[in-house]
């Protein structure tokens, strides 16, 4: 069954921008008669169960509903390991010993896109890998051996978007699945065919769509929505004042979100759903000014 989703990472309480994105994901799904599921992306060691509980409570408080139980990424290590094993058996993975500093300082080919992995570890010999393992003293990450430099996706709000598809990491050095792999595998497992999220994640869509195609998964419909920024034009953060639901209040937060989307008279998500039209959505960031 066609499905949309919201997938918060429980590293901090949701702010008004996160809540607005969750509302938009819910509106996109419900307005197209899709199921809507909730997934907690808790693979990072900087995520916490108590924060996840508060996030889910806040989402429910503003009227976001979801179908079925909440999914937790940390419960699906075997799911990711099976995909990594399959890719490795197909000869599509290689070990990478590079740190972020190594990558930033590495020389690049003239045609290489800015921000792409320079391929330092792509063609290491067995002896090279052993030497690097001894030099670094840390286990390697696993990168996907790609055969395309760029990939194009269709986005409801941005149209055709072409972005980098380099040899991106699919498993970190600590053995945990990387974001780009976990999100693709989870979306496929949950039947998600509509991905609505902040437009800061638009550059990751080509990598994820490419991986989905490689794994034989259907490519989802993307809608990357504008972020919420502070008065200085920077990403919203705790220092910007009253930004969480506990600080703003449920009714004021809903009123602010509805107003930012162009429907200031909507008082709850059901009334917002009645007037929701993706064509009318603002295409620019919302500058948030605490009341």
Strand partners, 96: 141
Distances 168 to 35, 96, 104, 152, 180 between C-alpha atoms, Å: 31, 10, 15, 16, 8
Residues 6+ apart with CB under 8 A from 234: none
Cα 191 from Cα 91, distance rounded (Å):
27
CB 196 within 8 A of CB 21: yes
Residue 197 exposure: Cα atoms within 13 Å on the Cβ side: 20
Residue 239 has φ and ψ, to the nearest 5°, of -65, -10
Q: How far apart are the first and last CA of the chain?
A: 41
CA distances (Å), 20 to each of 62, 124, 279, in order?
10, 46, 17
**Which residues contribute to the annotated binding site for L-glutamate?**
5-9, 41, 179, 197
> Which residues participate in the annotated binding site for Zn(2+)?
96, 98, 117, 121
CA distances from 34 to 5, 100, 132, 239, 277 (A): 10, 40, 49, 36, 16
With 0-12 / 13-18 / 19 or more C-beta atoms within 10 angstroms meaning exposed / middle / buried, residue 207 is buried
H helix or E strand, kind and range, residue 273: helix 269-275
Write out the binding residues.
5-9, 41, 96, 98, 117, 121, 179, 197, 238
- Report yes or no: 217 and 184 within 8 Å, Cβ to Cβ: yes
């Amino acid at each position: 069954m066609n499905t949309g989703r919201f997938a918060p990472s429980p590293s901090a309480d949701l702010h008004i921008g996160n809540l607005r994105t969750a509302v938009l994901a819910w509106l996109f799904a419900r307005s197209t008669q899709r199921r809507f599921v909730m997934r907690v992306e808790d693979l990072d060691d900087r995520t916490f169960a108590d924060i996840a509980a508060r996030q889910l409570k806040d989402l429910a408080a503003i009227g976001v509903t979801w179908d079925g139980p909440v999914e937790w990424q940390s419960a699906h290590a075997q799911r990711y390991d099976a995909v990594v094993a399959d890719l490795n058996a197909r000869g599509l993975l290689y070990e990478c010993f590079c740190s972020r500093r190594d990558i930033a300082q590495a020389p690049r080919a003239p045609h290489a896109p800015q921000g792409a992995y320079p391929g330092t570890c792509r063609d290491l010999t067995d002896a090279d890998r052993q030497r690097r393992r001894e030099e670094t003293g840390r286990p390697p990450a696993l990168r996907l051996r790609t055969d395309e430099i760029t990939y194009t996706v269709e986005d409801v709000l941005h149209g055709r978007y072409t972005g980098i598809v380099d040899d991106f990491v699919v498993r970190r050095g600590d053995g945990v699945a990387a974001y780009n792999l976990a999100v693709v595998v989870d979306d496929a497992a949950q039947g998600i065919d509509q991905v609505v999220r902040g437009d800061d994640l638009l550059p990751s869509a080509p990598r994820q769509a490419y991986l989905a195609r490689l794994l034989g998964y259907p490519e989802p419909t993307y809608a990357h929505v504008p972020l919420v920024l502070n008065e200085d034009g920077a990403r919203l953060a705790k220092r910007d004042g009253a930004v969480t639901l506990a600080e703003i209040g449920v009714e004021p937060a809903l009123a602010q979100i509805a107003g930012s989307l162009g429907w200031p008279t909507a008082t709850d998500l059901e009334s917002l759903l009645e007037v929701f039209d993706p064509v009318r959505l603002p295409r620019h960031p919302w500058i948030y000014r605490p009341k």
